[in-house]
Structure 1
Amino acid sequence: MSLKTFGAKIFAKVVKSQINKWANKPIETQQKVFEQLIATAKTTDFGKDHHFDKIKSYQDFVREVPVRDYEALKPYVNKVVGGEENVLWPGKPLYFAKTSGTTSGAKYIPLTKESMPTHVSGARNAILNYIAETGKAGFVSGKMIFLQGSPEMQEKNGIKLGRLSGIVAHYVPAYLQKNRLPSWETNCIEDWETKVDVIVEETLPEKMSVFSGIPSWLLMYFERLQEKTGKNVGELFPEFDLLIYGGVNFEPYRAKFDSLIGRKVDSIELFPASEGFFAYQDQQGEPGMLLRLDAGIFYEFIKSDEFFEENPKRLSIGEVEKDVNYVMIISTNAGLWGYNLGDTVMFTSVKPYRVIVSGRIKHYTSAFGEHVIAKEVEYAMKKAVQEHGVKINEFTVAPQINPPKGLAYHEWLIEFEEEPKNLDIFALSLDGYLQEQNSYYLDLISGKILKPLVITSVKKNGFKAYMKSIGKLGGQNKIPRLSNDRKIADALHQQL
């Protein structure tokens, strides 16, 4: 056992003990976070505008602070971007994480000296928790790759800005620097396809033990490795023991990953975002990720089927239930208050609190009142893929409201790695599994308002070409699973 492996096991035990302390006292932990946030931000512009000095309870907070998305919070953010201090949080942020907005161009998410360490500790603790659980730590002596955005940053009114994954790259601990790939120079390459080719060349001679990134972009990298060598990833890298992923549901990609790797490896799922590092998988074989209740984030939840009502009920952590779809609302030590992240979650456990990401509140298909969410289509795809033994690279779903003839339907645009022998039978299976998940959709099919789904096969690399055409190839960008319009579907049809 190497000194680094031995040290990792000791450190993992310490961190696991700390995790257990707050995980076993969830309500008390969240109350402490809530009180610290309110006390710290009392004298900020936002705190004054929302009477933080009078907030003594969660009920007071609900009364004073409305739920807002980025657009509604933008007047405050614009002041911060303009260089003003003490607006949303004391002082100025350390950084802005610059992300793509859906309605207003770039979004600037503040990262403060209080919030930045929680982004770093989230990934670190996920790995240490895995070591404590499994006793496996040999991978820390091997090479690790983290597919991420460029670490190069710009500056705006004295505050540095860049992609979150690139900013975090500046915080890789010294003891991991020699193990970490790609090189700094390679990480700075902006063109994603060029970057992946260079990463392939850098990693092939190395003893790689850990791969981390968004599944769709890890697939692209693994495919390039296989194309270049004719070997699967598990054969190329015998020391490869651990896959770390986040950003999207892994299940639709699992069969393809298993094929490319050629053997089973352990994996850790993460739930990171520019707004916070929210959760990580804490148990192998256990569904859901442990919600980080001690990381400077106060959580609220609104049932997704009530979210668009005039005054939906806001729930704190002690009021949530398993298997209910919630919109997650956050208030953070980066100065986001009553902030609608846009993600929907379901709790798989409340002792401790574990979640799965079920979709996006704006990413759904409900052109006919069915309100199909990402979790449902991903489950249907997982079951159909398993039943028929096919592999897919990517997919998305859109409504077809006005077909040339016949009833309306859901169109599934799928890029197959291996097409099913009978596409019609596969489509019927897929449709059946979706009906199992969504009773409204079942009623629409049974009532002959919709006909069963229709599959359109997307050519090889079609989704990649689409993402490239809109300037979102690589990094943390991903295809929405569902749309309530045909913008993505129509763009993909142009390639057929």
Structure 2
Amino acid sequence: MSIKAIAAKIFAKRVHAQTQKWANNPIETQQKVFLDLIRQAENTQFGKDHHFSQIKTFEDFTQHVPVRDYEQLKPYVDKVVAGESDVLWKGKPLYFAKTSGTTSGAKYIPLTKESMPFHVKAARNAILSYIHETGKADFVDGKMIFLQGSPEMEEKNGIKLGRLSGIVAHYVPKYLQKNRLPSWETNCIDDWETKVDAIVEETFNENMSVISGIPSWVQMYFEKLKSKANKPVGELFKDFNLFIYGGVNYEPYRAKFEQLMGRKVDSIELFPASEGFFAYQDSQTEKGMLLLLNSGIFYEFIKADEFFSENPKRLTIKEVEIGVNYVLVISTNAGLWAYNIGDTIAFTSTKPYRVIVTGRIKHYISAFGEHVIGKEVEEALQKAILGTNISVNEFTVAPQINPESGLPYHEWLIEFDSEPEDLEAFALKIDSEMRQQNVYYDDLIKGHVLRTIVITKVAKNGFQEYMKSIGKLGGQNKLPRLSNDRKIADFFN
């Protein structure tokens, strides 16, 4: 074992001990974060407008600070973007993470000198947690690749802005710089397909040990590698033993990935966003990701099925239950206050607090009151595929409210790598799994309000073409699993 690997194991042990301290004291840790955030932002414009000086408890906070999404917080963000100081957080942010907005064009998420280190530390600690648990550290001597956005940045009123993954690229520690791929020049390529081709050329003859990125885009990279090498990725990179991913659930991709790799590799799931780094997988045996309670973020949780009611109850960490679908609401040291990030989560454990991402509060199907969420369609497909030779590249689901004939239904648009011999039987299998998971959906089928699902086959690379058509090919962009409308479905019909 190299000196570098030995040092990594020693460092991992130390970080694990530090993590255990706050993980074993979750309620006290969150209370301390809460009071610290309020105190530091007391004299900001937002703090004065919302009477932070009077806030002593969480109950005070809920009375003075309503839950907001980006559109509702935008008047304050616009002031920050215009160059004003002490608006949402003290001083000015270091960066803006620029993301795609839904109704207002680009979104500018502030990153401050207080929040930025936690983005970097969380990614590092996820790897160190894996090293501590498994004892595996030899991969630190190999090459590592992180498929991400361009590190090039623009400037707006003296504040740099860019993709979060590109900003984080500036913070890669020196001891990893020699191991890290792709090159700076390749990382700066804007066109995703051109960029992946360049990454293939740069990495083809390297000793890759760690590969990281959103599964759908890593899959494109793997397909190009396999095609060029004419052998599985696992044979090309014999020391490749760790896949790090985030952004979407890996399970729908796992079978295809293992086929492309030719073998299984360990994986670590991350839960990062421009708004904060919320959780990482801290165990290879336990389900879920460790919620980071000591990272400058105070968490609130609202039951997803109550979220759109007039006055939903806002819960703290001590009030949550395992298995309930919650909307995640955050207040952070980047100046986001009672901010709805749009993700839904469920707890798999409360000792320590571990979560899974179940979907997006805006990405659901409830055209008939069925309340179908992303986790349900992913699990239904995964179970339907189990034990078969069927392989799926990508999929999305939309309601068909006005069919040409017969009852309405859910349309599953699926890009197969290996198709089922009997498409209708496969559809019924998925439908059966859906009915077992979602009682509302089951009632609608039983009551002849809906018919069973209909599968529409999407041509190879069809979803890539769709993402390209809306200017969201590659990087951190993800295809929604669910839509309550037919904007995506109509592209293919």
Q: Give the TM-score category using the shorter length.
A: over 0.9
Structure 1 position 431 matched with structure 2 position 457: no
1:146–1:181 Cα contact (<8 Å) kept: yes
Amino acid at match of 1:389: N
User: What is the CA deviation profile of residues 302-350 of structure 1, one whole-angstrom value per residue up to 9, with x for unaligned ones?
Assistant: 0000000110000000000000000000000000000000000000001
1:23–1:352 Cα contact (<8 Å) kept: yes
Q: Provide the residue aligned with 1:2 in structure 2.
A: 2
Between the aligned partners of 2:128 and 2:185, the Cα distance in structure 1 is 28
Between the aligned partners of 2:105 and 2:403, the Cα distance in structure 1 is 32
State how 1:240-251 maps to structure 2 within 5 Å.
Answer: 240-251=240-251
Give the secondary structure class of the aligned counterpart of 1:98: strand
Between the aligned partners of 2:390 and 2:346, the Cα distance in structure 1 is 28
Q: Provide the residue aligned with 2:271 in structure 1.
A: 271
User: What is the CA deviation profile of residues 397-451 of structure 1, one whole-angstrom value per residue up to 9, with x for unaligned ones?
Assistant: 0000000000000000000000011111110000000001100000000111100
Amino acid at match of 1:458: V
Q: Provide the residue aligned with 2:489 in structure 1.
A: 489
Structure 1 position 221 matched with structure 2 position 190: no
Q: Deviation of residue 387 (structure 1)?
A: 4.0
State how 1:433-452 maps to structure 2 within 5 Å.
Answer: 433-452=433-452
Q: Deviation of residue 492 (structure 1)?
A: 2.2
Amino acid at match of 1:288: G
1:214–1:247 Cα contact (<8 Å) kept: yes
Q: Provide the residue aligned with 2:161 in structure 1.
A: 161
Amino acid at match of 1:183: S
Give the secondary structure class of the aligned counterpart of 1:305: helix
Give the secondary structure class of the aligned counterpart of 1:299: strand
Q: Deviation of residue 222 (structure 1)?
A: 0.1
Amino acid at match of 1:95: Y
Between the aligned partners of 2:88 and 2:482, the Cα distance in structure 1 is 33
Between the aligned partners of 2:457 and 2:318, the Cα distance in structure 1 is 45
Give the secondary structure class of the aligned counterpart of 2:170: helix
Between the aligned partners of 1:279 and 1:492, the Cα distance in structure 2 is 35
Q: Provide the residue aligned with 1:107 in structure 2.
A: 107
Identity among equivalent positions (%) equals: 74
Q: Provide the residue aligned with 1:417 in structure 2.
A: 417
User: What is the CA deviation profile of residues 214-269 of structure 1, one whole-angstrom value per residue up to 9, with x for unaligned ones?
Assistant: 00000000000011111101000000010000000111001000100111110000
Normalised by the length of structure 2, the TM-score is: 1.00
1:164–1:274 Cα contact (<8 Å) kept: yes
State how 1:49-448 maps to structure 2 within 5 Å.
Answer: 49-448=49-448
Give the secondary structure class of the aligned counterpart of 2:372: coil
1:288–1:356 Cα contact (<8 Å) kept: yes
Between the aligned partners of 1:168 and 1:237, the Cα distance in structure 2 is 26
Between the aligned partners of 2:486 and 2:225, the Cα distance in structure 1 is 34
Q: Deviation of residue 388 (structure 1)?
A: 2.9
Structure 1 residue runs of 4 or more that deviate by more than 3 Å after TM superposition = none
Between the aligned partners of 2:299 and 2:492, the Cα distance in structure 1 is 37
Between the aligned partners of 2:272 and 2:183, the Cα distance in structure 1 is 23
User: What is the CA deviation profile of residues 118-163 of structure 1, one whole-angstrom value per residue up to 9, with x for unaligned ones?
Assistant: 0000100000000000000000000000000000000000000000
Give the secondary structure class of the aligned counterpart of 2:456: strand
Amino acid at match of 1:457: K
1:388–1:426 Cα contact (<8 Å) kept: no
Amino acid at match of 1:198: A
Give the secondary structure class of the aligned counterpart of 1:62: helix
Q: Deviation of residue 286 (structure 1)?
A: 1.6
Between the aligned partners of 1:252 and 1:127, the Cα distance in structure 2 is 23
User: What is the CA deviation profile of residues 369-400 of structure 1, one whole-angstrom value per residue up to 9, with x for unaligned ones?
Assistant: 10100010011011011143311010000000
Choose 253-262 or 384-393, whichever is displaced more. Answer: 384-393
Amino acid at match of 1:61: F
Give the secondary structure class of the aligned counterpart of 1:93: coil
Amino acid at match of 1:445: I
The runs of 5 or more residues in structure 1 that have no matched partner are: none
Q: Provide the residue aligned with 2:463 in structure 1.
A: 463
Q: Deviation of residue 7 (structure 1)?
A: 0.6
1:463–1:492 Cα contact (<8 Å) kept: no
Amino acid at match of 1:105: G
Between the aligned partners of 1:404 and 1:467, the Cα distance in structure 2 is 28
Amino acid at match of 1:70: Y
Between the aligned partners of 1:190 and 1:272, the Cα distance in structure 2 is 22
Between the aligned partners of 2:158 and 2:357, the Cα distance in structure 1 is 35
User: What is the CA deviation profile of residues 1-39 of structure 1, one whole-angstrom value per residue up to 9, with x for unaligned ones?
Assistant: 111101100100000001111000000000010011000
Amino acid at match of 1:187: N
Q: Provide the residue aligned with 2:473 in structure 1.
A: 473
Between the aligned partners of 1:299 and 1:131, the Cα distance in structure 2 is 28
User: What is the CA deviation profile of residues 86-142 of structure 1, one whole-angstrom value per residue up to 9, with x for unaligned ones?
Assistant: 000000000000000011100000000000000000100000000000000000000
Amino acid at match of 2:369: G
Q: Deviation of residue 209 (structure 1)?
A: 0.1
